[in-house]
Amino acid sequence: MNEAEIKERVAAFLAEHDPAGDRLEFLRARFDAGLAWVWFPEGQGGLGAPRELQQVVERELADTPRQLHAGMLAIGLGMAAPTILTFGTEEQKRRFLRPLWTGEEIWCQLFSEPGAGSDLATLATRAVRDGDEWVVDGQKVWTSGAHHSRWAILVARTDPDVPKHRGLTYFVCDMQAPGVEVRPLRQITGEAEFNEVFLTGVRLPDELRLGAVGDGWRVAQTTLMNERVAIGGGPARRGGGMVAPVVEAWREHPELRTHDLHQRLLELWVETEVTRLSGARLREQLAAGQPGPEGSGMKLSFARLNQAVTGFDLEFRRDLGYDDWAFRRSENVDFYGRGPGYRYLRAKGNSIEGGTSEILRNIVAERVLGLPSEPRVDKDVPWKDLPR
């Protein structure tokens, strides 16, 4: 399928569906026409077309209705959907993908636990088989958007007698099931983006299992690789992204400029620009069908840069204030709608969420550079015998 054919499809679709009509009906029809994510297979919101043609669709449909609360869809679109597509049964794909894409059903991620962060595979939430059901008990943490979510992607331990990576199973968790309790976790910014989720005797039918029993680690890798790509996506325009509000303020406030700040800002500007170019090069490689390992590094670069730029911003403005400490549930991360203090504090999470920068450096070192791993003392030990 090429650009012209995609354009024809869009034109035919628009001839039959009025963008001025009901928003949800329009979005459902767009999914059914294969114009949701064109690189997905036919019948699942796509056309089996090359991924770069998605931008053609987005351009052609730029002025048509969008999903509400786009920020809340990120986990569903970026993490749950590719995992369901890769490992789901036909029935699961049919049930979950359309309402996920239209935004009718919000998704969250039940991976991390108080005792399992960077070492996710050591997680302790148990799922025990009971006939056609699984009974889940445990505690999850850092769950963004859990309070809005209809579904969650969940990794739980189904076999404690084998080494940690082998005893995991991946599920879709019904967030409305009895025994699911969501409590907000207040962050250093004052608000609560994420939650702790307590799972007590939650019963999930076996139809909600994604992939084979014991194969949860492999399924989770698909989710995590997609998360890092999503978090690492950068600005397309020179001078765009996180440095833009700083440069704007710099131009507006000559009275705040110093020589020291000037040198540092130029260094940050240059690093922002080479990072942007590197992202542009990566996108070109992907479009040409030659994905390089560079993607693994993008999140690392952006985390460092965002922290440096937002810290600089606050210092440059000599701003001792803060816009709002109120404890409230936030719908999504709003870097540009909030003040510089919020940006600085929120950016601290960039090197922790979705894999800490330390873990990502290990991944780059081992998978890209081929360096040997550290000796692993827990590799061949049954999970139940690990010190905790």
Partner 1 sequence: MTLLYSEIEEELRSSVRDLLADRCPPAAVLKRVESDPHDLDLWKTLAGEIGVAGLLVPEELGGAGATASEVAVVLEELGRAVAPVPFFTSSVLATRALLPTRDALLGELAEGRRTAALVVSFTASPYAPSRGASVSVDDGRLSGTVTGVAGADVADVLLVPVDGDLYAVEGASVRVVPSLDLTRPIATVTFDRAQARRVGACDVAAVLRFGAGLLASEQLGVAEWCLDTTLAYVKERHQFARPIGSFQAIKHRLADLWLDVVRARAAARNAASDPSSISVAVAQSWNAGVALHAAEEALQLHGGIGMTWEHPVHLYLKRAKATEIALGTPGDHREALASLVDVPGPE
User: Any idea which residues carry the catalytic annotation?
Assistant: 227
DSSP conformational letter for 63: T
d(CA 25, CA 104): 11
Instruction: At 188, give phi and psi (nearest 5°).
Output: -65, -15
Q: Could you give the CA distance from residue 46 to residue 379 in angstroms, rounded to a whole number?
A: 40
Q: Which range binds partner 1 by CB under 8 A, 81-89, 127-135, 155-163, 250-258?
A: 250-258
> Binding to partner 1 by residue 387, rule CB under 8 A?
no
Stretch that binds partner 1, among 150-158, 216-224, 273-281, 331-339 (CB under 8 A): 273-281
Stretch that binds partner 1, among 4-12, 28-36, 48-56, 279-287 (CB under 8 A): 279-287
Of 141, 109, 139, the C-alpha closest to 231 is: 109
What is the residue-wise DSSP string for 194-212? EEEEEEEEEEEEGGGEES-
Give the residue among 388, 334, 340 at the shortest CA–CA distance from 160: 388
Q: Among 188, 100, 106, 199, which residue's Cα sits nearest to residue 155?
A: 199
Q: Report, in Å, the least distance between residue 245 CB and partner 1.
A: 13
**Least distance between partner 1 and beta carbon 165 (Å):** 20
Q: Which residues contact 64 (CB under 8 A, 6 or more apart)?
A: 14, 19, 26, 30
Which of 270, 325, 329, 385 is the binder for partner 1 (CB under 8 A)?
A: 270
Query: How many residues belong to the site for partner 1 (CB under 8 A)?
Result: 47
Single residue of 63, 91, 132, 374 touching partner 1 by CB under 8 A: 374
Our CB check for partner 1 shows the closer of 33 and 225 to be 225
Per DSSP, what are the bridge partners of residue 163?
382
What are the phi and psi torsion angles at 353 (to 5°)? -65, 145
Q: Which of 91, 258, 380, 388 binds partner 1 (CB under 8 A)?
A: 258
110 and 153 in contact (C-beta within 8 Å)? yes
Q: Is 7 in the site for partner 1 (CB under 8 A)?
A: no
Q: How far is the CB of 322 from partner 1 (least distance, A)?
A: 27
Measured in degrees and rounded to the nearest 5, phi and psi for residue 214 equal 90, -5
The reply to whether 288 sits near partner 1 by the rule CB under 8 A is yes
CB of 247 to partner 1, least distance (A): 6
Q: Is 140:114 a contact under the CB 8 Å cutoff?
A: no
Which residues partner with 140 through β-bridges? 197
- By CB under 8 A, residue 294 contacts partner 1: yes
If binding is defined by CB under 8 A, does position 278 make contact with partner 1? yes
Q: Of 30-38, 72-80, 101-109, 357-365, which segment contacts partner 1 by CB under 8 A?
A: 357-365
Contact flag: residue 362 with partner 1 (CB under 8 A) = yes
CA–CA separation, 231 and 303 (whole Å): 9
- Binding to partner 1, residues 300-319 (CB under 8 A): 300-301
- Which tokens sit at 137? 């008990």
Lookup: tokens for 101 = 């894409």
Determine the Cα–Cα distance for residues 69 and 106; give it in Å rounded to an integer: 10
Strands 133-144 and 107-110: unpaired
Q: Does 271 bind partner 1 (CB under 8 A)?
A: yes
Among 8, 58, 284, 331, binds partner 1 (CB under 8 A): 284
Q: Please give the backbone phi and psi of residue 375, each rounded to the nearest 5 degrees, phi first.
A: -60, 135
Q: Which is nearer to partner 1, 139 or 278 (CB)?
A: 278
Pick the closer one to partner 1 by CB: 176 or 373. Answer: 373
Residue 365 beta carbon to partner 1: minimum distance, rounded to whole angstroms: 4
Q: How far is the CB of 80 from partner 1 (least distance, A)?
A: 29
**According to the binding rule CB under 8 A, does residue 250 interact with partner 1?**
yes
Asked if 273 interacts with partner 1 (CB under 8 A), we say yes
* Tokens (6 digits) for 47: 């056309």
Residue 280 makes contact with partner 1 by CB under 8 A: yes
Residues that bind partner 1 (CB under 8 A): 238-239, 247, 250-251, 254, 257-259, 262-263, 265-267, 269-271, 273-275, 277-278, 280-281, 284-285, 288, 290, 294, 297, 300-301, 358, 360-362, 364-366, 368-375
